[in-house]
């Protein structure tokens, strides 16, 4: 615990306590940079899964499937049995083997029926969720619904994991959210129905967003104030890596199943965050855990080459001030404060920008 002597010697300061705290241990040193690299990795799965449906459900050519008893090429089938203005979702109702093989106009029967099965152009994508569950024609809207379900997972994650991060800690939430994304990413690849696939996508979104958002908060809380803009913007490199890797995977694999498994690998690597990432010292101080915060800050100072011989007392004083400031905060503050007079305009602008 912080000694009583330190508490007695605390001097008032107009400088923000958090700024003093991080500057004392080095606001931009090897300790922060190593954590930054780990947090870049935290952003990669979010970028991958966010863009995945573009390659899982691409706009590929499809047409009514040929009956098993008919032996003819795709082009011949399209010419003789499918309406030229709607080859994707309907075919002519009346045809038979004999008149199809005749070199006559097979479209003399104009009555159409909806396709009950489809064939797909597999020249680029060998297997997609479209071909897996026939999400075409009257089921095409399910693809858009899946994307909406994914965004709903984003929304729920921001609320739930944002709350939990303040209650159980940043590091704990990152570990829990990553476990969720890892489990449902693997299950998603082995989905046996579209409903199962969509549910998995919801929890994947919740998991990767929980990891990404919470790791961003953790980074901002361990970086010196004047370096936050640089590091905050640089975290988007994880998204860039995720976005750029997907077209390459789609070109190499052409199969949504294997793509899903490959983009799950970063989640497996993120299991190492249990050892790589520290808890946020600021959160620890907000919880009154001064000793734990001091231990982490001391390690940070040592890693950054900062001499605590002279700064030790100042560090303890700053820890005490920060803890005291958190104790004096209004506990009734909640999300509704964002919409009070003087803040609601800024809140709406930030919501729109995000």
pLDDT tens sequence across 213-245: 999 999 998 888 888 888 888 888 988 998 999
Name the more confident of 8 and 32. 32
Instruction: Indicate the average pLDDT of the chain.
Output: 83
Name the more confident of 160 and 112. 160
Decide if 81 contacts 273 (C-beta within 8 A): no
**Band of residue 80 on the pLDDT scale cut at 50, 70, 90:** confident
CA atoms of 79 and 259, how far apart (whole Å): 35
pLDDT score of 255: 94
pLDDT at 156 over 90: yes
pLDDT at 14 over 50: no
pLDDT score of 98: 54
Name the more confident of 21 and 310. 21
Query: Mean per-residue pLDDT for 157-180?
Result: 93
Name the more confident of 179 and 18. 179
CA atoms of 159 and 23, how far apart (whole Å): 31
Phi and psi dihedrals of 324, rounded to 5?
A: -65, -40
pLDDT score of 329: 60
pLDDT at 129 over 90: yes
pLDDT score of 326: 60
Give tens-digit pLDDT for 324-344: 666 656 555 667 777 777 788
**Percent of the chain having pLDDT more than 90?**
36
CA atoms of 249 and 259, how far apart (whole Å): 6
pLDDT score of 5: 46
pLDDT score of 103: 47
pLDDT at 3 over 50: no
Query: Mean per-residue pLDDT for 309-319?
Result: 66
pLDDT score of 269: 86
pLDDT at 17 over 50: no
pLDDT at 132 over 90: yes
pLDDT score of 2: 47
């Amino acid at each position: 615990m912080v000694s009583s002597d330190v508490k007695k010697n605390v001097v008032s300061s107009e400088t923000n306590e958090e700024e003093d705290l991080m500057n004392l241990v080095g606001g931009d040193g090897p300790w922060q940079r190593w954590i930054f690299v780990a947090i870049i990795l935290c952003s990669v799965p979010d970028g991958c899964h966010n863009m995945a449906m573009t390659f899982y459900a691409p706009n590929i050519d499809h047409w009514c499937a040929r009956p098993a008893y008919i032996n003819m090429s795709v082009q011949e089938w399209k010419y003789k049995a499918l309406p030229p203005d709607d080859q994707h979702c309907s075919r002519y109702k009346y045809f038979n083997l004999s008149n199809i093989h005749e070199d006559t106009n097979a479209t003399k029967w104009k009555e159409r029926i909806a396709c009950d099965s489809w064939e797909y152009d597999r020249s680029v994508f060998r297997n997609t969720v479209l071909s897996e569950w026939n999400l075409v024609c009257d089921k095409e809207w399910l693809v858009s619904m899946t994307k909406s379900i994914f965004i709903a997972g984003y929304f729920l994650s921001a609320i739930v994991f944002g709350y939990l991060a303040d209650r159980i800690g940043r590091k704990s939430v990152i570990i829990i959210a990553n476990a969720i994304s890892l489990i449902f990413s693997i299950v998603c690849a082995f989905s046996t129905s579209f409903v199962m696939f969509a549910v998995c996508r919801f929890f994947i979104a919740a998991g990767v967003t929980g990891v990404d958002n919470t790791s961003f908060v953790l980074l901002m809380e361990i970086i010196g104030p004047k370096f936050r803009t640089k590091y905050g913007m640089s975290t988007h490199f994880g998204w860039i890596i995720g976005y750029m890797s997907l077209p390459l995977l789609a070109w190499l694999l052409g199969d949504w199943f294997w793509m899903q498994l490959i983009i799950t690998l970063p989640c497996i690597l993120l299991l190492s965050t249990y050892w790589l990432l520290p808890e946020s010292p600021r959160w620890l101080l907000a919880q009154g855990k001064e000793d734990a915060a001091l231990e982490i800050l001391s390690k940070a100072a040592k890693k950054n080459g900062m001499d605590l011989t002279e700064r030790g007392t100042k560090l303890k004083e700053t820890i005490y001030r920060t803890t005291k400031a958190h104790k004096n905060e209004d506990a009734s503050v909640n999300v509704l404060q964002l919409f009070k007079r003087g803040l609601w305009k800024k809140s709406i602008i930030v919501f729109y920008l995000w």
